[in-house]
């Protein structure tokens, strides 16, 4: 018997027991006394703590700090361009902020190949931000290759997470 079959069997037993109790309650000659507590006031959803404008947290929430790449590619996908557009907009608002873009690769390929690919990914992101008006002097790049994975499993899902360029604020952000 599978776990799902066991759960289904227990559910059926509970339903039968509830049905028997309901029929027994209806057959009783005694008056039914309602003893249900008043409806509880619904609690509002927790308030999202908003980051301080101009902070690292604000950048991450507003713009997003990471773009992803397809296998063995460094050209920007449409979702990456959308994130970089938000980053460029945020950076134009906070002109004193400088960033470092970390290029990353998954574990497949040689160390040297992955360092070169990750550098091209970081440069693609930088070049796009510059094309959107962010001064090149405010952006530095670094290649991590495969050395700083987000996920360590050898699966396609993890490899996809590790193929990225991550924008990190290095100076000028407001402290929270």
Condensed to tens digits (0 to 9), the pLDDT of residues 125-150 reads: 999 999 999 999 999 999 999 999 99
Residue 10 has a pLDDT of 53
Query: Would you say residue 59 lies in a domain?
Result: no
pLDDT of residue 45: 59
Residue 161 has pLDDT above 60, yes or no: yes
Q: Write the DSSP symbol of residue 106.
A: -
Question: Does the residue 19 lie in any domain?
Answer: no
Determine the average pLDDT of the residues in 15-26: 47
Residue 176: per-residue pLDDT: 65
Does a structural domain hold residue 109? yes
In this predicted structure, which of 25-39, 66-80, 100-114 has the lowest mean pLDDT? 25-39
120 assigned to some structural domain: yes
pLDDT tens column, 38-73: 445 555 555 556 899 999 999 999 999 999 999 999
Q: How far is CA 65 from the centre of its chain?
A: 10
C-alpha to C-alpha distances, 163 to 28, 89, 134, 153, 172, nearest whole angstrom: 68, 24, 24, 13, 27
142 found inside a domain:
yes
pLDDT of residue 32: 44
CATH of the domain at 142: 3.30.1330.60
Domain that holds residue 77: 69-171
The larger pLDDT score, comparing residue 23 to residue 120, is at 120
In a domain, 125, yes or no: yes
The three-state secondary structure class of 102 is strand
| Confidence (pTM) | 0.72
Q: Is residue 83 part of a domain?
A: yes
Tally the domains of the chain.
1
Compute the distance between CA of residue 25 and CA of residue 18 in angstroms, rounded to an integer: 10
Residue 39 resides in a domain: no
Cα 170 to Cα 148: distance, rounded to the nearest angstrom:
18
């Amino acid at each position: 018997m599978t776990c799902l079959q066991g759960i289904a069997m227990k559910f059926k037993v509970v339903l039968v027991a509830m049905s028997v109790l309901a029929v027994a309650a209806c057959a009783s000659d005694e008056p039914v006394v309602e003893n249900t507590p008043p409806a509880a006031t619904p609690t509002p959803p927790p308030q999202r703590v908003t980051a301080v404008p101009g902070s690292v947290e604000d950048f991450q929430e507003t713009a997003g700090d990471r773009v992803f790449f397809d296998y063995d590619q460094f050209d920007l996908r449409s979702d990456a361009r959308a994130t970089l557009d938000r980053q460029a907009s945020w950076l134009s608002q906070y002109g004193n902020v400088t960033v470092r873009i970390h290029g990353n690769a998954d574990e497949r390929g040689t160390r040297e190949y992955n360092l070169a690919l990750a550098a091209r990914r970081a440069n693609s992101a930088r070049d796009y931000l510059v094309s959107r008006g962010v001064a090149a002097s405010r952006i530095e790049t670094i290649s991590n290759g495969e050395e700083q994975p987000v996920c360590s499993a050898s699966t396609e899902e993890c490899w996809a997470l590790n193929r990225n360029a991550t924008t990190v604020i290095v100076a000028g952000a407001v402290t929270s």
